Structures are given as C-alpha cells and as structure tokens.
Amino acid sequence: MISKIHSIVPYGFEGKLVEVEGDMNRGLPAFNIVGMANKTINEAKERVRSAIVNSDFSFPDKKVTINLAPAELLKDGAYLDLPIALAILTLSGQLTENDTANKAFVGELSLNGEIRPLKGIINIVETAKKAGYQELYVPIKNLPQAALITGSMTIYGIRTLQELFLALKNQLTLETADNIKTTFDKREKIEGPILDHIRGQTLAKRAMEIAIAGHHNILISGPPGAGKTLLAKAAANLLPDLTPEEMVAITKIYSIAGLTNDEIIFERPFRSPHHSASLVSIIGGGTGITPGEISLAHKGVLFLDEIPEFPRLVLESLRQPLEDRQITISRVNQKSVYPADFMLIATMNPCPCGYLGDPTHECKCTGAQIQNYQKKLSGPLFDRIDMHIVVEKVSNKDLRASIATKNHEHIVVKNTITGAIARQKARYGRDGIYNSSLSSFEVAQKLKLESAAEKLLASASEKLNLSARSYFKTIKVAQTIADLEDSEIIKQTHLAEALTYRKR
C-alpha cells in the first residue's frame, strides 16, 4: 500500500512542494526515510514514532519506508514531521486517502504529539496558495503570520496530532486564519532619542530629514562626541509607518531567519551590527542560506557606526545590494535571492584619533595613518552613498541650551517627511517607491528640472567631475528636497542644496 501526503518546505525566500510518500510491506519491523533528508529529518523517525504512540494511535509493526519527493531537493528542518506521521497513519488504515486529499500539512512534532511552530511560515503559505491547495494545516502559533496572506485557501491552526486526526474525521472544528483579524496599527509610542533631544546640528538634522524622506543613503563624518550616533538613532523615530505589503515582507524575512514564529513585525527595522560582524552575518548565508543583516534591514535602516572599522571585504560586499536592492547568495547546491532594500546610515571619524581639523584638539595621526583610514571606503562604495555631511563639535552655548519636552521639532519634521512620501507615492503610482529607487531612465522620464537648475547641474558636473551615478543621485536628492517643499519641479535652490551633500 502507498500513501501520499502533500507538504511544503521553505527554500530561500520561496518555498518548494514536497510529496511525502509512504510504503508498508511485510518483513522485519523497520522505519526508513529516503529522499535527500538531512540529519534533522532522519531524527524525525524517533519524534514521529513517539508522537504517534503517545497520541493513542498505533505504530505499524512492519517495514515502513518514507520517500520525500523530489529526491534531488535537499530537505532541512522539522517541517515534514507531521506529513510523515499522517502518511504512517494512512498506511496503517487509521486515516483514509480522502481524509487528506487536496490538503497540505506542515509541522514539527514533539514527543507527546504537540505541534510546534516553524520558521518561514509565510513562504509555505504563499507556495501553497500558488499551488492551488484548498486547505493548509499549520501549527496554531504560526496562524497569526499565516493570516497575513489572504486568498481563497482555508488555513487551519492545529495544536496536537490527535486534534488534527479528529478534525480530519469531522469530529472537531479547528481555528482558521479567517478568524484572526490583523490590524495594521500605526506606532504611537516613541522610544529612544528624537530630534528635540539633539542640541545644535541644525544642518545635520536637515540632511537626515532629506535622507529619510527620499530613502537616501547617508554618511555622517565628524569628531568624537559630535552627535553622529545620536543623529542616526533619532532617525529610527522619523521612519514612515509600514504599509501592509511591507509588513508582510519584513515579517517573512524575520520568520525565515527564525527571529519570530508567532509575531508580526509592525515597525521598520533598525539594524546596527557591530564592526566585528562576519561577512556571512552581514550579507547572509551559512547553513540553509539564512538572511543577513542587509536583508533584516529591508524597508528600514542599516546603521554602520564607525564604518571604516568594518573589514574591507564586508564593506565591498555592500556594493551590489546598494545598487540592486537585493542580494543573491550562491552555494554549490542552492541559490537564494533575498530582498535588501535598506537605507544605509553610516558614521566615521575624519581620522583614526578623530580630531583631524578640530581647532580645540591636536590630531596625533600621521599622514599615512589618515590616508589609510580614509581609503578603507573605496571610491565605488562612496559613489553609492547619496549624501555626505560633516558635523562639527557642538558649541558650549548649544550644550547649555535646555532640551525641549514637547517633541515639537520631531512632530514637524515627521509630518513634513510624511507629506513628501505621499507626493512620491502619487508621482510613481504605488507605495514603497522612493526617489532613490529610480533608475536613470526613470529620472529622465519622471523628474523635471527648471532651466536654471539644468544649467547649474551641467556646470557642477564638470567642475566636480561627477560620475554618471553621482549625476543622477544628485537629481534624486534634489527631487526629495522639492517634495519636502511641495514643489512639482526641481528648482535651482533645490539642486544647489543637493550638491552640497556630494563628497568633493
């Protein structure tokens, strides 16, 4: 007798269909699993056997063989525990083929038959939806995330193997994703520093406002204690609210990474890896090709504090994601593509000691040390950063000024950013497209410059020797400045301000 149970496993940012085939023959009692199963799946034999027995079902006293098709697909994780158990229950006649027809099942079994949550559940639901399954059964704790994917398919949440058995026999009603109402509430509570807490640095605050409004990458350089890190952390409270589509994408990535199984991500990520982080932790990879920091920062901020301290190999690996807004990770047996549409905020000192050009502190670095330090950021990487600002030491007068308590500046700037993003949405026709996302063709097609601005740009590009990438990035920054001022056309003043943020 042959049984067949349908299941799905995550595969990178997507999912793969798997058929769990079962066969039972006479002979010495045995339980074998074949089909490119790794150690985790091979260990499922003991989990499945104990779960079946402890759920008051009988495990067949015969030779049982389970095949995981397609055989050439490398399978990892405990996603197939539940389908394997159902295949055995079908082989032994405790379930029928009609009980599981046109249905897909995923779940990790505990020894007592409970169903444990899995990572990457959104991958699984999306794949099941595309494959046309009518019903999908997932662990109950994964149901809130599964409910993010809407469609005609019914998604059931299950707690135990015994509960699922009774439901398949129409003796019990399971909770469905339709009963879970997902609310996309806006963030109200403010945590961490805001602009009102930063003394002085008016020009830096203005630059940060432009960067967030247009999703532009920005580099802040200046002496120690000038407020570079504080500016970057204040940016987290200026980020726009997530759209429902962005919420699904971010939750999906965090679920794949195993950072959440039952929670939905409601806020834009702000990732701040330490400079000792490895290449794999930044771009992704490792066992199972899990997403790295650049993907975990998708639709949010990747903050690299003291960027020259990061290994050069790590920094150079950012060049392709900054351009393509995704990362392709290739291994011998697998290739995965993860989204990486993040805003880069980086800080650095002007030299190793930090006091180059500071009138109150003597720089103790040699010329060679300064040159080597600044060369850690290559020209191609610098060219991919839209804005570069230099902050000065805060004056004693500004330090003595009282800190505002009513969040006035924060509210004003946040509203201005929200308005600029709304104008970008109206111009480009959908959410999630910022000025920084435009290609050079789209810049020429969608953005308009007044004649005086065009003349200034032509003159500046010659004097500053701007690359083609820098040329278009300057226009995109100028468009963001125009959006902040509710201008339909890029004016000369907008372009002039945008040029001040280019590295000379």
What's the CATH number of domain 2-179, 3.30.460.10, 3.30.1050.10, 3.30.750.24, 3.30.230.10?
Answer: 3.30.230.10
Alpha carbons 401 and 224: distance in angstroms, whole number: 20
**Percent with pLDDT over 70 in the chain:** 96
- The 10 Å Cβ neighbour count of residue 31 is 18
Domain residue ranges of the chain, discontinuous segments joined by +? 2-179, 195-429, 438-504
Residue, of 430 and 413, whose pLDDT is higher: 413
Render 9-43 in DSSP notation, one character per residue: EEETTEEEEEEEEEEEESSS-EEEEESSB-HHHHT
Superfamily of domain 195-429: P-loop containing nucleotide triphosphate hydrolases (3.40.50.300)
pTM to 2 decimals?
0.90
Phi-psi region of 380 (alpha: psi -120 to 50; beta: other; left: phi over 0): alpha
Q: Using 50, 70 and 90 to split pLDDT, how confident is the model at 152?
A: confident
Find the range with the poorest average confidence among 211-215, 300-304, 430-434, 446-450: 430-434
Alpha carbons 492 and 250: distance in angstroms, whole number: 38
What Cα–Cα distance (Å) separates residue 320 from each residue in 124, 381, 479? 28, 10, 24
Q: Using 50, 70 and 90 to split pLDDT, how confident is the model at 288?
A: confident
pLDDT tens digits, 319-350: 999 999 999 998 877 889 999 999 999 999 99
Q: Which residue has the tokens 């339980």?
A: 31
What's the CATH fold of domain 438-504? Helicase, Ruva Protein; domain 3 (1.10.8)
Q: Is residue 237's pLDDT more than 70?
A: yes
Question: What b-and-e string marks burial along 377-396, b requiring 16 or more CB atoms within 10 Å of the CB?
Answer: beeebebbbbbbbebbbbee
If we measure between CA atoms, which residue out of 206, 291, 237, 430 comes closest to residue 12? 291
pLDDT tens digits, 356-414: 888 888 888 998 999 889 888 998 999 999 999 999 887 777 666 655 555 688 899 99
pLDDT at 280: 94
Same fold, 195-429 and 438-504: no
Find the range with the poorest average confidence among 159-168, 185-194, 353-362: 185-194
Rounded to a whole number of angstroms, the distance between the first and last alpha carbons of the chain is 75
pLDDT at 232: 93
Q: Using 50, 70 and 90 to split pLDDT, how confident is the model at 431?
A: confident
Alpha carbons 256 and 119: distance in angstroms, whole number: 5
Render 218-256 in DSSP notation, one character per residue: EEEE--TTSSHHHHHHHHGGGSPPPPHHHHHHHHHHHHH
What is the Cα gyration radius of the chain?
Answer: 28
Structure tokens belonging to residue 235? 């940016």
If we measure between CA atoms, which residue out of 198, 246, 243, 244 comes closest to residue 222? 198
Find the range with the poorest average confidence among 274-278, 352-356, 386-390: 352-356
If we measure between CA atoms, which residue out of 337, 338, 370 comes closest to residue 354? 370
DSSP 3-state of 368:
helix
If we measure between CA atoms, which residue out of 305, 312, 303, 318 comes closest to residue 376? 312
Q: Is residue 267's pLDDT more than 80?
A: yes
- Angle (CA) 417-219-238 rounded to 5° is 25
Q: Is residue 317's pLDDT more than 90?
A: yes
pLDDT tens digits, 36-50: 777 788 889 999 999
pLDDT at 406: 59
Q: Is residue 269's pLDDT more than 80?
A: yes
Q: Using 50, 70 and 90 to split pLDDT, how confident is the model at 187?
A: low
In degrees and rounded to multiples of 5, residue 48 shows phi and psi of: -65, -45
pLDDT tens digits, 55-95: 999 999 999 999 999 988 888 889 999 999 999 999 999 99
CB 28 within 8 A of CB 22: no
Sign of CA dihedral 318, 321, 326, 327: negative
Structure tokens belonging to residue 500? 């001040």
Torsion on CA atoms 303, 304, 305, 309, rounded to nearest 10? 170
Mean pLDDT of 454-478: 93
Question: What b-and-e string marks burial along 265-295, b requiring 16 or more CB atoms within 10 Å of the CB?
Answer: beebbbbbbeeeeeebbbbbbeebbbbbbbb
